[in-house]
Copies of this chain bind each other. A is one copy, B any other.
Amino acid sequence: MLKPGDTVGILGGGQLARMMALAAAPLGLKCHIFAPEGDNPAFDVSAAHTIAGYEDKAALTAFAASVAVVTYEFENVPASTADVLSALVPVLPAPRALAITQDRLTEKSFIRDLGLAVPDFIAVSSLDELEAALQRIGRPSVLKTRRLGYDGKGQAMIRQDMSAQSAWEAIGQAPAILEAFVPFEREVSVVAARSSSGEVTAYDICENRHAHHILAQTTLPAAVTSTTEAAAKDAARQIAEALGYIGVFAVEFFVASSGANEVLLVNEIAPRVHNSGHWTLGGAETSQFEQHIRAVAGWPLGRPKRLGRIEMENLIGDEVNRWPDLLAEPGVLLELYGKREARPGRKMGHFTRVYR
């Protein structure tokens, strides 16, 4: 268990690390950020930082010696990095969650093995296998690389007019899964946390709208039945318990309709604080960032109570230029990430409206 004055190590220097550092400070904790050269806005709010590659063993060793626990802001932490660190200092969430969620095949298999519904999927590692899988799953379907996909990267939607070959080339001929396309009504997520004592607490279910495969807007309450909400929270709890997870995580779902009923399918697990939980900064009694820090510090979780009806919008690329209007709008909670350059598709900030 950490105590005030201790240092939390964070892998990654982007906005998630930054918001974790901002949440760690009021709890009396310092942060040490480890990230490669680049635009690392988390450095601006942290007591210490190391600029080094994730494969730099000497730098990782020194980093581990300076912190009481290591956590991370992204799921693609190399296994070798996690191995070096976890031999020296607790790494939370434990690297097993990384290993499972870094590969869509092991992730989906893990979820299905828990008895939770997922879209049909088949592993494919060649054009021949893709063609065979297309025969079974049909079109439209989605080809996704097993590793390193996020925000729609490494994905190809295969409609009637796309050949297996062009899809295969579009994703770089990498090991992949072919997944049935779900004609969903809405996309929702549950952001939850599990503490070191096994306590699990979930925020209310979020409804998410994406644009160009990037989260654009999250609203609460989600327009789903209470049965669906309870099922989603229960799925999150099952996943956390099966992983022995410690920290905040998100589970993304598709909600489809089947006659009069809603059907809930797990899309993916994010073993970290999540964009669909950003509304909790000011919109919930405890933010997901504080919750994560509490969990990895070995402390009790905070109350996830939602404080009103919520609208959270991302500011992508040039949308950040809306800041003067947003600052002037009563009741808007603005969060800018301190990034130097507003490139297209880049998450520059977000804002939340809380209707109490």
Residues in A lying within 8 Å of B, measured CB to CB = 4-5, 18, 21-22, 25-28, 30, 43-47, 281, 285, 294, 299-300, 302-303, 305, 307, 320, 323-324, 327-328, 330-331, 334-338, 340, 349, 356
Contacts and interface: CB of A to CB of B under 8 A. Distances in A.
Q: Which 3 A-B pairs have the closest CB atoms?
A: A28-B336, A44-B47, A26-B335
Contacts of A305: 331
A292 to B, nearest CB: 14
B27 A45 contact: no
A319 B320 CA distance: 43
Contacts of A300: 327-328
Contact of A45 (B46, B294, B338): B46
Contacts of A30: 44, 338
Contact of A25 (B26, B328, B338, B356): B338
A13 to B, nearest CB: 13
Given A30-B44, A299-B324, A300-B327, 7 more contacts: A4-B336, A4-B338, A5-B340, A26-B334, A26-B336, A44-B46, A285-B331
A89 B277 CA distance: 39
A334 to B, nearest CB: 7
Nearest to A28: B336
Contacts of A28: 323, 336-338, 349
Nearest to A3: B323
14 contacts: A4-B336, A4-B338, A18-B25, A25-B45, A25-B338, A26-B335, A26-B336, A27-B334, A30-B44, A30-B338, A45-B45, A45-B47, A299-B324, A307-B307
B327 A294 contact: yes
Most buried by B among A30, A43, A330: A330
A303 B27 CA distance: 26
A307 B45 CA distance: 27
Contacts of A331: 285, 303, 305
A356 B305 CA distance: 11
Given A4-B320, A303-B331, A44 B25 contact: yes
A22 B21 CA distance: 10
A356 B306 CA distance: 12
A229 B327 CA distance: 28
B338 A5 contact: yes
A236 to B, nearest CB: 20
Most buried by B among A25, A46, A299: A25
A295 B228 CA distance: 45
A5 B30 CA distance: 23
A63 B230 CA distance: 55
